[in-house]
């Protein structure tokens, strides 16, 4: 669709107003993502078009047209309003990939409340930290996750309503309410709250090096970039059947698993199923998926299962493939070319950017291993890490930085202005990653610029893991760092010193691993624990993770003199 020349032309003449026009948005007038993704599509005459084809691992299926999601999101919105929820209050979605998650997201936004999706595999401690920080008023969950909420509810004074989508009233306790979306009286009409461009919409939690996770606050105007990047980068066309692997507990799952495709009036399909190569290929074949947005970890798992299993299925409808979450290694690009007859197009972005910012547009020559070029409308560069001035020399590494001002840029970190301000230097937003730019303008990822661990495309903060490790039996001190991994790019490794009276053993290691998995999440679980006598520290006693990380990556530690004096 796009040629290299057209990328340059698009960049030269680009204006986000093209998306405003296509979405019918007039500056200064209300804009509501919930309405834009459902009612607007129906008004365009596509009410009977399939919006969501859903399937679970058992093969159960459900189908929802755009008119269905309009009415059902109205129904949820009316229910939430009936509870007395007010504009701007946070409503958490703590659900597996069930239809209520996707439709509920729109319903929350229609009321003017803020949607706070959280990954349903989070353990109670990860959940508590995020709900407490956001002062969340209501949580929508399902029976299987209710026990986690019950464990922490007494420590969450703001949590007024616990809404359970699949429970009988009789089995529920105080403050818990049963709400079955498809059994509820339908709301044909709902007066959508007239949110404005800068009204808060979504609160996604992301991790940093220090402190607990930060709530990245997005606004309704973000749909402008999510709509256009979904259309141009994912090359979505009216006849497409689109599948995004990502869970809406993470930003990809909302920006491109809900908002992007539905703002474009696209049919999307969802598979609520863990990784299973055969099942995934069957799903693509059965639904005739044409555009697939996946992740390097998933692609590498598919590679591990072999090409033969892919060839047993009719995947000929696949037209465009894209990937996000971590750098796509050249082998994965070449493998997909060989197996699917087309390459995966790498895309780079993060929770704070809200939309794809560096990418391989369809038709652009792909350099396997490269992140691609900035999306038109995004000014990206790499900065000198000391001066924060653009490097401006091909091949020289620096900090990936973006000129602020694109529509879906994060507006704040919830309750954390200092952390938010620290993300900006010299008029640039710092992504926290390092890269170089080649003479053709392609970006080449080099790694994180901090201690955050990118595992399977998810950013995990070491502080949260270390805090949890200290709650494990026998643990005196701990440091969590990244360790290279052939499938997940990085996994968590913990270095632990033990309290007097405890002995290092395989059993203790397994006990600690399971403890972290249940309290935080499987992603945060150290895949390896090394018991050590001491941890490297600065003179003031701060643990120096960098030394441990470099050891894992077999990299030189470099000059530590200033760090050790800290």
Partner 1 sequence: MNEISKVVREYIIREYVPEGDDREITETTPLISSGLVDSFSMVSLLRFLEKKYAIHIPDADATPEAFDTIERIVTLVRRFQKAEVGSV
> Three-state SS string across 58-125, please?
CCCEEEEEHHHHHHHHHHHHHHHHHCCCCCCCEEEEECCCCHHHHHHHHHHHHHCCEEEECCCCCCHH
Closest approach, Cβ 211 to partner 1, in A, equals 23
Closest approach, Cβ 451 to partner 1, in A, equals 19
C-beta closer to partner 1: residue 98 or 479: 98
How far from 277 is each of 118, 417, 458, 487, CA to CA, in Å? 25, 43, 21, 14
Sole binder of partner 1 in the list 289, 324, 361, 523 (CB under 8 A): 523
C-beta closer to partner 1: residue 517 or 551: 517
How many separate helices (H) and strands (E) can be counted in the chain?
Answer: 20, 27
Q: Decide if residue 128 touches partner 1 (CB under 8 A).
A: no
Choose the binding region for partner 1 from 100-108, 133-141, 217-225, 506-514 (rule: CB under 8 A): 506-514
C-beta closer to partner 1: residue 86 or 278: 278
Give the helix ranges, DSSP H, for 206-306. Answer: 223-232, 251-254, 260-263, 277-287, 296-305
Sole binder of partner 1 in the list 383, 453, 525, 547 (CB under 8 A): 525
How far from 6 is each of 2, 75, 148, 358, 380, CA to CA, in Å? 6, 44, 51, 16, 18
C-beta closer to partner 1: residue 297 or 360: 297
Q: Decide if residue 514 touches partner 1 (CB under 8 A).
A: yes
Minimal CA–CA distance to 414: which of 210, 154, 132?
132
C-beta closer to partner 1: residue 199 or 488: 488
Sole binder of partner 1 in the list 17, 24, 189, 275 (CB under 8 A): 275
Q: Which residues within the stretch 41-100 sit at the binding site for partner 1 (CB under 8 A)?
A: 57, 96
Q: Is the dihedral of CA 267, 272, 278, 282 positive or negative?
A: negative
Q: What six digits make up the tokens of 421?
A: 């301000």
Choose the binding region for partner 1 from 39-47, 75-83, 396-404, 508-516 (rule: CB under 8 A): 508-516
C-beta closer to partner 1: residue 22 or 272: 272
Map tokens 């990206």 to a residue.
Answer: 380
C-beta closer to partner 1: residue 384 or 552: 552
Choose the binding region for partner 1 from 28-36, 146-154, 206-214, 374-382 (rule: CB under 8 A): 146-154
Q: Decide if residue 272 touches partner 1 (CB under 8 A).
A: yes
Sole binder of partner 1 in the list 84, 330, 510, 542 (CB under 8 A): 510
For the chain, the farthest-separated pair of C-alpha atoms sits apart, in whole angstroms, at 71
Choose the binding region for partner 1 from 272-280, 319-327, 350-358, 438-446 (rule: CB under 8 A): 272-280
Sole binder of partner 1 in the list 103, 146, 391, 453 (CB under 8 A): 146
Minimal CA–CA distance to 452: which of 440, 438, 463?
463
In whole angstroms, give the CA distance from residue 370 to residue 74. 43
Q: Decide if residue 301 touches partner 1 (CB under 8 A).
A: yes
List phi, psi (to 5°) of 556.
-65, 140
Q: Decide if residue 456 touches partner 1 (CB under 8 A).
A: yes
C-beta closer to partner 1: residue 228 or 302: 302
The continuous run of DSSP H or E covering 433 comes out as strand 428-437
Beta pairing, strands 320-323 & 344-348: parallel
Q: Decide if residue 527 touches partner 1 (CB under 8 A).
A: yes
Q: Decide if residue 486 touches partner 1 (CB under 8 A).
A: yes
Contact by Cβ (8 Å): 105, 270? no
C-beta closer to partner 1: residue 126 or 408: 126
Size of the site for partner 1 (CB under 8 A): 39
Q: Decide if residue 553 touches partner 1 (CB under 8 A).
A: no
CA atoms within 13 A on the CB side of 159: 26
In whole angstroms, give the CA distance from residue 485 to residue 298. 13
In whole angstroms, give the CA distance from residue 234 to residue 218. 22
Question: What residue ranges bind partner 1 (CB under 8 A)?
Answer: 57, 96, 121, 143-148, 272-279, 297, 301, 304-305, 455-456, 486-488, 491, 506-507, 509-510, 513-514, 517-518, 522-523, 525, 527
């Amino acid at each position: 669709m796009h040629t290299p020349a057209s990328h340059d032309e698009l960049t030269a003449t680009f204006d986000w107003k093209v998306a405003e026009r296509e979405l019918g948005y007039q500056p200064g007038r209300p804009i509501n993502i919930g309405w834009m993704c459902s009612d607007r599509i129906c008004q365009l005459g596509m009410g009977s078009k399939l919006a969501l084809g859903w399937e679970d691992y058992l093969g159960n299926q459900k189908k929802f047209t755009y008119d269905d999601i309009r009415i059902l999101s109205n129904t949820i919105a009316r229910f939430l309003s009936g509870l007395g929820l007010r504009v701007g209050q946070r409503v958490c979605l703590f659900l597996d990939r069930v239809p209520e998650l996707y439709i509920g997201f729109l319903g929350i936004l229609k009321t003017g409340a803020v949607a706070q999706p959280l990954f349903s595999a989070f353990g109670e401690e990860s959940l508590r930290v995020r709900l407490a920080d956001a002062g969340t008023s209501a949580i929508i969950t399902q029976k299987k996750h209710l026990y986690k909420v019950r464990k922490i509810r007494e420590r969450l004074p703001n949590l007024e309503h616990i809404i359970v989508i699949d429970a009988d009233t009789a089995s529920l306790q105080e403050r818990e309410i049963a709400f079955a979306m498809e059994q509820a009286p339908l709301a044909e009409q709902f007066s959508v709250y007239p949110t404005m461009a800068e009204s808060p919409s979504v609160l996604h939690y992301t991790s940093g090096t220090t402190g607990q996770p930060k709530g990245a606050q997005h606004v309704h105007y973000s749909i402008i970039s999510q709509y256009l990047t979904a259309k141009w980068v994912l090359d979505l066309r009216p006849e497409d059947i689109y599948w995004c692997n990502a869970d809406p507990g993470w930003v990809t799952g909302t920006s491109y698993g809900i908002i992007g495709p539905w703002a474009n009036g696209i049919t999307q399909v969802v598979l609520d199923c863990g990784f299973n190569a055969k099942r995934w290929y069957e799903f693509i074949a059965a639904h005739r998926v044409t555009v697939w947005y996946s992740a390097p970890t998933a692609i590498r798992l598919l590679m591990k299962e072999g090409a033969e299993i892919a060839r047993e299925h009719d995947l000929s409808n696949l037209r465009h493939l894209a990937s996000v979450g971590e750098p796509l290694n050249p082998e994965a690009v070449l493998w997909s070319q060989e197996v699917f007859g087309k390459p995966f197009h790498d895309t780079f972005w993060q929770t704070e950017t809200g939309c794809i910012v560096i990418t391989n547009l369809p038709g652009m020559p792909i350099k396997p291993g490269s992140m691609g070029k900035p999306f038109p409308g995004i000014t990206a560069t790499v900065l000198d890490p000391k001066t924060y001035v653009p490097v401006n020399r091909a091949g020289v590494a620096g900090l990936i930085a973006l000129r602020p001002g694109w529509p879906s840029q994060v507006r704040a970190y919830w309750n954390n202005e200092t952390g938010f301000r620290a993300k900006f230097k010299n008029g640039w937003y710092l992504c926290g990653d390092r890269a170089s730019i080649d003479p053709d303008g392609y970006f080449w990822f080099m790694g994180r610029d901090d201690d955050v661990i990118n595992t399977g495309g998810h950013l995990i903060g070491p502080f949260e893991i270390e805090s949890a490790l200290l709650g494990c039996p026998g643990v005196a001190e701990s440091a969590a760092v990244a360790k290279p991994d052939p499938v997940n790019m990085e996994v968590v490794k913990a270095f632990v010193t033990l309290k007097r009276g405890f002995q290092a053993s395989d059993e203790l290691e397994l006990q600690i691993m399971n403890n972290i998995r249940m309290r935080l999440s499987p992603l945060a679980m150290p895949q390896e624990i090394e018991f050590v006598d001491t941890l490297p520290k600065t003179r003031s006693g701060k643990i120096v993770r960098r030394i441990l990380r470099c050891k894992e990556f077999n990299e030189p530690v470099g000059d530590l003199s200033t760090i050790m004096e800290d």
